Every structure is written in structure tokens, then in C-alpha cells.
């Protein structure tokens, strides 16, 4: 209390900073919002480039760029080219085996026909009047638009569309879109709406099978990190160039927009786009993070000039998806991206297309990102606000650095799992709280008592803490080997449970479970080693000696099962899944001490005896039991009644170990249970003696009284097998488990 009062100002400042940063999770002030976007953009770019593979990833699909580059402009002429040249380009791509072609350009105006040009002069009019039928036919033959349209049906072609913000820009007409809404009740969608458009002339539009927009989606700093998959125009939804090309490539009939209602509004939020069996998660605007595979020209580039002049091996183009665009500086399609400042826009589409065809390449920001960010800020803020003022300068700086490193590490880990979360707020909060406390001038070192408390207060009971602080010599952080008992407990079917709950519900459920479980372990003199997901590991006999460590651990196990039964009823009332647990305990020599690296340490136990405890917990599922202990634990628990279970050889061990199910404290065993245990002991001895008939009779009797007991039916199956396959005189009754 004195320490808190002494450092109250620092704690308050830390909590105020935590509150301020919590308001920045979703700021409404444009200046702050844009600043955070820019900072997050820089962090995103650093993270992306730091995790790009050294070698360009190989695609399962032959996605290539047909480049209208400087070379093509020199050899073919300035762009735009005549439609006859484009026709030849399409023809040669089709002949080489390209299956889908996408144009990162529009054909928004008809090409001038030479006959129409001729009729602008008096001489031309005279010639036309002399033989109008001839010139009309010649006009058809020289119509470049018709020539291009004549080959667009030879393969799957996607022509480009550019949507505009200005409603007065309406160039060309659009094909009916290939996008439909999954939920017909969704009248208002959180999509990007464009009022104008620049499309293709009718003859080209009608000849092409598909159409897709090539609009860029830039962040406030002008960088392209995201790409739109759909756009809304006049109440209809149109796919991007990449999405439409993927649809045609996969022979899908249409694209669906998956939405979910936004609470409190009449809007539906976009969650994904789907075609065929492929589902692409998106943000609420239908955007995806561009899965860049590397810098410029990470995809195969082929100059349009080389294709037109047949200088490319056709095998390189076979079964390919060709995107026709430009990298020429003068044609103004170079963009600022996370992987380059002069990045061709057409290659952005190539990256998105590859991601759509291989959805596992996409990173995404989940719908629970705000809750996760609030939780990170709260944990970082509370941890540093309450802890740093109590530390000396060295530990203060170390804790701050470890917190920032852990924040970065968690973010990078989630990024590797394809989950993208903001990093700037929790990282900046950790930095400012740490710097503030360092600036406050806490340069005195804390005593050994404070070191012990900071090490053990999250692991051991408060009574142990008080005793260690009173007599620090009673505990040693050095590694030592001693006899102890270790407990492992795990929630059954946790994966299926977690799938039924939201992230917040799962967090709340685990908190509701671990709090009383931890309290029970503390009350029975146990030390928490760690929590790993839904698993808790604890041990008895350290850091303080406990002569009754085996019996205390078993009694704690009984109490944990009692708590689980009570919570099961409570969880049902809250519409949460019922929980069941498995508990395994072993007693033996273990190494215990403060272990780890110079950056992160933990007071823990290691050794074969620990591993056996973990194996026993895993075996509870096999025997249909909730609680198993080894013979070494049973030997030190004279006040506990046990049910013999088996003699096993676990994976990695050659020696067989007898295992038992703790039933109850002996004083509480009633006559019915005592009779069952006596009969079971007789049955098990007959089994070990290979008296199959007597053993079968006893186990059948036990099963009739306990029809749900899997253990008894398991032994009846074993007896039947062993009668048909006698094990021999050297059989010791053990069963070998080959899995963990």
C-alpha cells in the first residue's frame, strides 16, 4: 500500500495514457484518423517487406503480364494502338494457349474508319458516289472495332471498366454484372459507390464474355495496400478485373456477395465474396489486402512487341491467365505500393488474382479486431501503469522493452497466421508509459523481497508469498532436483467449444473457469506453472517444501472436478457449451527452478516425471475417465481410495506403470462404493492372473451396475481378445499406448 501511495502519480498518468490510447482505436477526428492511417501504413509496409520470402513464391497458376512497355511503344508505335494490332495480340495469345485474358484498359471510343476519313474530302465523296456498295463493304472490312470484336469470343476475355465519382461521366454502356447478393434482404450495403463510369463501346462490350473494373483503392498516403473486389453503381454490383478473371478461369457462373446486418442500422456489412467453392473474406467495403509476392516484375512479364512478333516460346504462355497492361512511364499507370514506388498497376491486379485463386495467401483484418485492440491496450496499459512505478530503472527498461517486443512478436505471429491487426496504438502506449516512468527518475534498485514477489505472485498462494518475503532464504531460484507432484488439466473438445463461441465469449468463459480453478490450486498449496490455451499445469513441493505434496495434489484434483461440475450447470444457463476436463497427476523426481533465457524466464518443472503426468492426462480420454494418477502418487496417498485402471507403457517409455483413478477420501466412501472397489480389485487380479472366465464374470457384474463406465466394457473386450490370442506366461498385464 505504501508503495502504491508513493507512486500514485505515475500510476494515474499511466492509466490516463491508457484511456487516451483506447479512444484512438476508432478515432472520429479526421486529422487523427489520417495520421494513424499513415503510421499504420508505414508499419504495415515494414512488416510486409520483413516477412516477404527471399525467393519469389511459385504460383499454382500461370499468371502473366503482357506488358505494353517502352520496347513495345518503340517497335509498334505510340499507344493507343489500332484495334487491329490489339486483335493480332489477342489472336497470338489465344493460339499460344492462354485461357483467360484481362484488359487493364478500356476501349471507350470507336476507332475512326478510313472510309469515314475519306468522306471528309470532296474527292472521297465523289469516289463513294460512283460505287457506294463497294465502299460500304470496304468500310466493313476496314472496321478495326469489328475486327477486334470478332476474336474476343475465341477465349474468355475480361474488358476493363473505370468507374468515376462524377455522375456526369457516362461513357459507354455496361454489361449486366456477374455479381448477385447472397442476402436479398440487404437493401443498403457498405460498399464503395461510384456514380459515373467509363466503359467500352457497344460492339466490344457485347463481344467480350466478362467485364471488370480496374479502379485503384488508395490509402490516405496514396499507397495501394488494399484492393476493391466489388463496386456499386446504380444499385448494381460489379466485380474487379481480377475477380472476374478468376470467375472465368474457374468456370463459375456468378459471384456472390456475402453480407451481415449491422446492428442498429439498416445497412448490411460486406463480409466476403464467393464464387464456386471459393470464399474470399473482405472488409466491410469489399476490400482485400493485396498479397504482394515481391517487388516489381515478381510475375512473368512479356513485352507485347515480343508476342506480336512471335519471339516468345508459346509453351511459356500455355494455360496462362494474361493481364494486358503497361509499365511504361509515359502511360501513367505506375503506382505507389508497399513493395515499390513505381509499381505497375497491372501487376497489382496480378497479385490480387493470384490471391483469389489461392485464398490462403490473403491476410485479413477480422471483425473482432477492435475488441482485440482494446484488450491489448488495456493489458499493456494496466501492466505497465501498475508495474513500472514499482521497479528500478534496469527492470523498468527491461519490462518496457519486453512488453514492446512481445506486442510486436504477437502481431508478427498473427500476421504469419494471415491475421492483420493494428500495432501502432499498443506499441506507442508501451513506449510512452515506459519513457514517462524512466523520466520520473526511479533509479533505485528494489530489494530481494520485491524480486521474489515479482517472480512468484502469479504462481503460488499468497501465504507462500508472505512466508518467502519473511524468510527469503527459505526459497531458492537456483535449479534443484527434488521429489514433487505435478498436475495437468485440460478441457475436453476445446476446439469444438471455441468454434461455438465468439472471441469475447471464449475469453469470458476461460476467465470464469480459470479463476476458481486457480484459487483451488492455491488453497491446496499448489504452484501454477503455466496456462496454455485451455490447459493448466501446476505442481506441489516447490518453491516451499510440502511433505504432503502427493495427497494435496489429489485433493486439489477432486476440488477441480467439483468446480467443473458446478460451472457446467452455470454455463448451460448462460447458453455456453458444457465443459468436461481430464486430470493427470504423477509424483517423482523433477528439476525445478527459474529457467529460460536472458530475456524471458519462468519458474517451472522439467523431467520424465513431468512428461508422465502429461501423458496420464491424455489417457483419461482413452479410458473414459476424468482423473488418473500413477502408482507413485497412489503410494503417498493412504487417505485416498483408488480404482485400479491399468498397467501401461506410454509413448517414449519402456517400463510399465500402474495407473489408478482417485475415487474419494477414504472416510467418505460408502458401503456401495466400497463393495464395487473390492469387486473391481478381485476382477483386476483375475485379469492379471489370466483367469479370463472369472475376470469376465466380475467385469460383467460391474458393468451391469455401472453401464456408462467405459473402463469395464473396455476390459471385457480385452478379455475376449486375449482368450483368442493368449499372451503367454511372461505377460505382465501391461498395455502399450503408441500415441501421446
**CB-CB contact of 504 with 564 (8 Å):** no
Buried b (16+ CB within 10 A) or exposed e, 281-293: bbbbbbbbbbbbb
Q: What confidence tens digit (pLDDT) does each residue in 383-414 have?
A: 998 888 888 778 888 999 999 999 999 999 99
Q: Are strands 267-275 and 278-281 parallel, antiparallel or unpaired?
A: antiparallel
For residue 531, which of 552, 517, 545, 541 has the smallest C-alpha distance? 517
For residue 576, which of 497, 507, 494 has the smallest C-alpha distance? 497
**CB-CB contact of 384 with 14 (8 Å):** yes
Contacts for 82 with CB less than 8 Å, ≥ 6 apart: 111, 144
Joined together, the cell numbers standing for residue 73 give 511503344
What share of the chain has pLDDT > 90, as a percent? 39
For residue 546, which of 600, 597, 475 has the smallest C-alpha distance? 475
Return the pLDDT at 177. 86
Give the pLDDT band (50/70/90) at residue 442. Answer: very low
Q: List C-alpha distances in Å: 519 to 53, 525, 559.
A: 46, 10, 10
0.75 surpassed by pTM: no
R_g of the chain computed on alpha carbons: 36
Q: What confidence tens digit (pLDDT) does each residue in 302-330 have?
A: 999 999 999 999 999 999 999 999 988 77
Joined together, the cell numbers standing for residue 386 give 501498475
Cα separation, 303 vs 283, whole angstroms: 35
Joined together, the cell numbers standing for residue 553 give 495434489
Residue 431 has pLDDT above 80, yes or no: yes
The residue written with cell numbers 498436475 in the block is 487
Joined together, the cell numbers standing for residue 324 give 494486358
Q: For residue 156, count other CB atoms closer than 10 A to its CB.
A: 21
Residue 373 has pLDDT above 60, yes or no: yes
Buried b (16+ CB within 10 A) or exposed e, 173-184: ebbebbbebeee
Residue 415 has pLDDT above 70, yes or no: yes
Give the pLDDT band (50/70/90) at residue 125. Answer: low
Paired strand residues for 237: 232
Ranges in the chain annotated CATH 3.30.70.1230:
476-669
Runs of H (alpha helix) within 197-309: 202-207, 241-249, 304-308
Q: For residue 382, count other CB atoms closer than 10 A to its CB.
A: 14
Average of pLDDT values for 152-174? 88
What H or E segment, with its residue span, contains residue 702? helix 692-705
Q: What is the DSSP string of 482-543?
A: EEEEEEEEEETTHHHHHHHS-HHHHHHHHHHHHHHHHHHHHHTT-EEEEEETTEEEEEES-S
Return the pLDDT at 641. 94
Residue 238 has pLDDT above 80, yes or no: yes
Average of pLDDT values for 355-374? 89
Query: Apex CA 84: angle with CA 82 and CA 85, to 5°?
Result: 70
Residue 532 has pLDDT above 90, yes or no: no
Q: List C-alpha distances in Å: 509 to 437, 456, 491, 538, 727.
A: 35, 25, 12, 20, 48
The CATH number fitting domain 476-669, selected from 3.30.565.10, 3.40.1390.10, 1.10.10.10, 3.30.70.1230:
3.30.70.1230
Length of the chain, in residues: 740
What share of the chain has pLDDT > 70, as a percent? 88
Joined together, the cell numbers standing for residue 525 give 498449496
Paired strand residues for 487: 538, 585
Paired strand residues for 189: 268
Q: List C-alpha distances in Å: 398 to 385, 387, 431, 435.
A: 15, 12, 12, 12
Cα separation, 58 vs 358, whole angstroms: 11
Amino acid at each position: 500500500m505504501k508503495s502504491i501511495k508513493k507512486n500514485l502519480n505515475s500510476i494515474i498518468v499511466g492509466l490516463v495514457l491508457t484511456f487516451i490510447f483506447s479512444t484512438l482505436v476508432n478515432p472520429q477526428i479526421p486529422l487523427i484518423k489520417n495520421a494513424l492511417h499513415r503510421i499504420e501504413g508505414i508499419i504495415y509496409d515494414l512488416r510486409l517487406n520483413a516477412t516477404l520470402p527471399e525467393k519469389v513464391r511459385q504460383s499454382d497458376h500461370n499468371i502473366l503480364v503482357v506488358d505494353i512497355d517502352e520496347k513495345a511503344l518503340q517497335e509498334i508505335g505510340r499507344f493507343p494502338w489500332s484495334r487491329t494490332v490489339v486483335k493480332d495480340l489477342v489472336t497470338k495469345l489465344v493460339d499460344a494457349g492462354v485461357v483467360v485474358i484481362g484488359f487493364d484498359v478500356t476501349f471507350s471510343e470507336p476507332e475512326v474508319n478510313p472510309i469515314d476519313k475519306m468522306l471528309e474530302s470532296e474527292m472521297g465523296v465523289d469516289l463513294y458516289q460512283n460505287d457506294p456498295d463497294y465502299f460500304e463493304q470496304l468500310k466493313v472490312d476496314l472496321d478495326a472495332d469489328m475486327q477486334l470484336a470478332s476474336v474476343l469470343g475465341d477465349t474468355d476475355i475480361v474488358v476493363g471498366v473505370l468507374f468515376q465519382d462524377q455522375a456526369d461521366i457516362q461513357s459507354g454502356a455496361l454489361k449486366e454484372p456477374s455479381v448477385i447478393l447472397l442476402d436479398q434482404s440487404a437493401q443498403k450495403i457498405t460498399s464503395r459507390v461510384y456514380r459515373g463510369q467509363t466503359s467500352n463501346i457497344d460492339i466490344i462490350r457485347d463481344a467480350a464474355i466478362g467485364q471488370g473494373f480496374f479502379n485503384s483503392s488508395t490509402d490516405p498516403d496514396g499507397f495501394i495496400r488494399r484492393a476493391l473486389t466489388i463496386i456499386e453503381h446504380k444499385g448494381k454490383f460489379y466485380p474487379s478485373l481480377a475477380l472476374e478473371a478468376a470467375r472465368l478461369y474457374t468456370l463459375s457462373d456468378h459471384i456472390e456477395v456475402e453480407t451481415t446486418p449491422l446492428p442498429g442500422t439498416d445497412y448490411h456489412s460486406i463480409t466476403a465474396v464467393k464464387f464456386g467453392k471459393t470464399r474470399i473474406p473482405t472488409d466491410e467495403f469489399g476490400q482485400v489486402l493485396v498479397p504482394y509476392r515481391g517487388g516489381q516484375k515478381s510475375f512473368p512479364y512479356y513485352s507485347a512487341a515480343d508476342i506480336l512478333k512471335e519471339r516468345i516460346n508459346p509453351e511459356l504462355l500455355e494455360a496462362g491467365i494474361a493481364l494486358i497492361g503497361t509499365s511504361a512511364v509515359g502511360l501513367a499507370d505506375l503506382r505507389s505500393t508497399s513493395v515499390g514506388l513505381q509499381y505497375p498497376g497491372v501487376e497489382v491486379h496480378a497479385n490480387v488474382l493470384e490471391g483469389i485463386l489461392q485464398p490462403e495467401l490473403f491476410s485479413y483484418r477480422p471483425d473482432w479486431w477492435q475488441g482485440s485492440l482494446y484488450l491489448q491496450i488495456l493489458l499493456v496499459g494496466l501492466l505497465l501503469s501498475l508495474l513500472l512505478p514499482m521497479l528500478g530503472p534496469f527492470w523498468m527498461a527491461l519490462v518496457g522493452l519486453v512488453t514492446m517486443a512481445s506486442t510486436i512478436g504477437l502481431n508478427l505471429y498473427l500476421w504469419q497466421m494471415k491475421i492483420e491487426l493494428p500495432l501502432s496504438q499498443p506499441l506507442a502506449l508501451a513506449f510512452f508509459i515506459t519513457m514517462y516512468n524512466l523520466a520520473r527518475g526511479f533509479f533505485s534498485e528494489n530489494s530481494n523481497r520485491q524480486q521474489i514477489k515479482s517472480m512468484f505472485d502469479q504462481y503460488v498462494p499468497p501465504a507462500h508469498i508472505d512466508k518467502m518475503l519473511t524468510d527469503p532464504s527459505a526459497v531458492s531460484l537456483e535449479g534443484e532436483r527434488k521429489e514433487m507432484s505435478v498436475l495437468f488439466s485440460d478441457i475436453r473438445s476445446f476446439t469444438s467449444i471455441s468454434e461455438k463461441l465468439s472471441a469475447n465469449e471464449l475469453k469470458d468463459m476461460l476467465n470464469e473457469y480459470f479463476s476458481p480453478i486457480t484459487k483451488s490450486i492455491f488453497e491446496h498449496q499448489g504452484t501454477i506453472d503455466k496456462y496454455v490455451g485451455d490447459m493448466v499445469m501446476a505442481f506441489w513441493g516447490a518453491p516451499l517444501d510440502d511433505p504432503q505434496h502427493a495427497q494435496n495434489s489429489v485433493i486439489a484434483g477432486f476440488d477441480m472436478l467439483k468446480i467443473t461440475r458446478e460451472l457446467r450447470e452455470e454455463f448451460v444457463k448462460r447458453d455456453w457449451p458444457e465443459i468436461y476436463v481430464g486430470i493427470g497427476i504423477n509424483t517423482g523426481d523433477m528439476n525445478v527452478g527459474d529457467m529460460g533465457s536472458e530475456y524471458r524466464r519462468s519458474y517451472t518443472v522439467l523431467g520424465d516425471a513431468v512428461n508422465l503426468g502429461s501423458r496420464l492426462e491424455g489417457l483419461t480420454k482413452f479410458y473414459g475417465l476424468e482423473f488418473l494418477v500413477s502408482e507413485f502418487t497412489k503410494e503417498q496417498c493412504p487417505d485416498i481410495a483408488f480404482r485400479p485402471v491399468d498397467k501401461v507403457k506410454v509413448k517414449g517409455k519402456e517400463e510399465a506403470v500402474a495407473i489408478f483413478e482417485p475415487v474419494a477420501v477414504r472416510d467418505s466412501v460408502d458401503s456401495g462404493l466400497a463393495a464395487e472397489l473390492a469387486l473391481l480389485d478381485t476382477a483386476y487380479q483375475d485379469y492379471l492372473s489370466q483367469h479370463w472366465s472369472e475376470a469376465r464374470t466380475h467385469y460383467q457384474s460391474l458393468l451391469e451396475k455401472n453401464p456408462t463406465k467405459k473402463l469395464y466394457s473396455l476390459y471385457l473386450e480385452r478379455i475376449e481378445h486375449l482368450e483368442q490370442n493368449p499372451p503367454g506366461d511372461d505377460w505382465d498385464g501391461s498395455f502399450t499406448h503408441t500415441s501421446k
